Structure formats: structure tokens, C-alpha cells
Amino acid sequence: MKTFKIKNTILGEGVPKICVPIVAKTKEEAIEEAKSFADIKADLVELRIDWYDEVNDIKKVKDLLKDLQLILKDLPLLFTFRTAEEGGEKKITIEDYITLNKEAAKSGFVDLIDVEVFKGDEVVKDIIATAHQAGIKVVASNHDFDKTPAKDDIVYRLRKMQDLGADIPKIAVMPKSKFDVLELLEATLIMQEKYADRPIITMSMSGKGVISRLAGEVFGSCLTFGAAKKASAPGQIGVNELSNVLETIHKSSN
């Protein structure tokens, strides 16, 4: 299994790493959130740029990224525009989506970018190529807020991300029952044991799926998301509480 070191964070080994989202409408709010992370147990930070009111102004986006890097220092920054189709705050044209992600990757102020895998194979490969040329890792993602697909379909989606060249495949699904949570966990284990040659991220959302955010080390997910102030998805729990549980599971399973 390939691991990735991004700044001081290694993805793909040991305790699942914790990513904390910034969900802010203004630069001032984003900066305030970033400063607060000095006191919490975060390994990465995700900037949910779809929340940002000035997201259509590339210069202002880059200015925000530059200021965040100065504050976050050794904390890697994941740049994400989550589209409305996958649970995000805003709609965006495919042309603007491509431009935004490419410009972020080339800015020198982010460490990873998130690309939604079902934006089209050529679009995804194009963005990944640009990111890799800039030395930036790519998380390919898919978020299903309606259901939990069958485990074979989950594995198919993760393998597709891997085949397209993403460094880290990621999927988040919505459970309708506890059986759905088991479906996601089994799919994660199958992918990790049989097909993955790189770290993967999986989760079952909402309260029903919270166990999937805690058991990544057991089933094969390298990263989980915890809320510092405001959660960016249903089912996220507080980052310090999350860290304690992850450490307990790690000690008990080794």
C-alpha cells in the first residue's frame, strides 16, 4: 500500500488522520476559523470554497489561500468546491469548475484538491494532470446523499477513481438502515484488501453512519472528518472527541 506524506502528515498508515473543514462565507470568518485550529488535534484542513461568497473572483480566492497557508503552516490544506449536485452550497458551470480547480492547484497555496469523479472522465483526467504537474495530490470524490449503493457499486466507484489517476479515492454515502452502514464498511474492506494500491477514504453519513467515521483503521479508510465549529456534512463529530476515540481503537487493535 502506497502512503503519502504531505507536509508532516502521512496518509495511509496508523491512526486515521483527522481533517477539519472551514465553512466560511467571508475571508474574515475563514481566517478566524483557521486561527482556532492551533488548539485542536487536526492533521489536515479542508477549505470548502463553495461556501465562500467571493468564489467567482479567482484573485480573491488566491489571496484567501495565501493567507490561510501562512496561518496553517505545517497543516496541509485540501481545496474543495463541493457542487450542489453532491451536497455543496453552490452550483457552478463545468468550465468554471475546471478553471477554479486548476488555478488553485497552480497557485502554490494548497496541498491537495478535491475533484468529483462524475464530472466526466476527461474533465477529471485534465484536472488531475494539471495538479500533478504542479506537485499537488488529488482526492477524487463521490457523495451520494440519497442512498447507499450496493457494495459492488461502491468498489466500482473507488476503483474508477484509482484508474483515473487520483491519489486518494473518496466516497461518502447516506445510510437508510444499519445494514447500509455494514455495506459501506464491507465495500471499504474489499477495496482495501483486494484492489487499492493507495490510501482510500470512505464514510457513511448521518448519525446512523457515525461508526464508519471511527473505525477507519479497522476497515481501511485513511482519513476521517471532524468538526471544529461547524460541520460540513451530516454525522461529523467534534475533532477532539474524535481524536480520543481513534487513539483508543488504535491502542486496542495493535
Annotated binding site for 3-dehydroquinate: 46-48, 82, 213, 232, 236
Question: Burial of 181 by CB count in 10 Å (0-12 exposed, 13-18 middle, 19+ buried)?
Answer: buried
Closest C-alpha to 88, from 55, 43, 42, 62: 55
Say how many Å lie between the first and final Cα of the chain, rounded. Answer: 18
Between CA 163 and CA 169 the distance in angstroms is 10
Q: Is 170 a catalytic residue?
A: yes
Q: How far apart are CA 74 and CA 43, in angstroms?
A: 9
**Residue 211: all three cell numbers together:** 461508526
Give the helix ranges, DSSP H, for 73-177: 94-106, 121-133, 151-163
Q: What are the grid coordinates assigned to 216, written together?
A: 477507519
Residue among 17, 102, 119, 143 flagged as catalytic: 143
Question: For residues 247 and 214, what is the distance between their CA atoms, to the nearest angstrom?
Answer: 10
CB atoms within 10 A of CB 28: 9
Q: List binding-site positions.
A: 46-48, 82, 213, 232, 236
**DSSP-derived secondary structure letter, 38:** G
- Whole-number Å distance between alpha carbons of 141 and 44: 17
Catalytic position from the list 17, 102, 119, 170: 170
Q: Rounded to whole angstroms, how far apart are CA atoms 185 and 101?
A: 30
Annotated catalytic residue 132? no
Write out the catalytic residue numbers: 143, 170
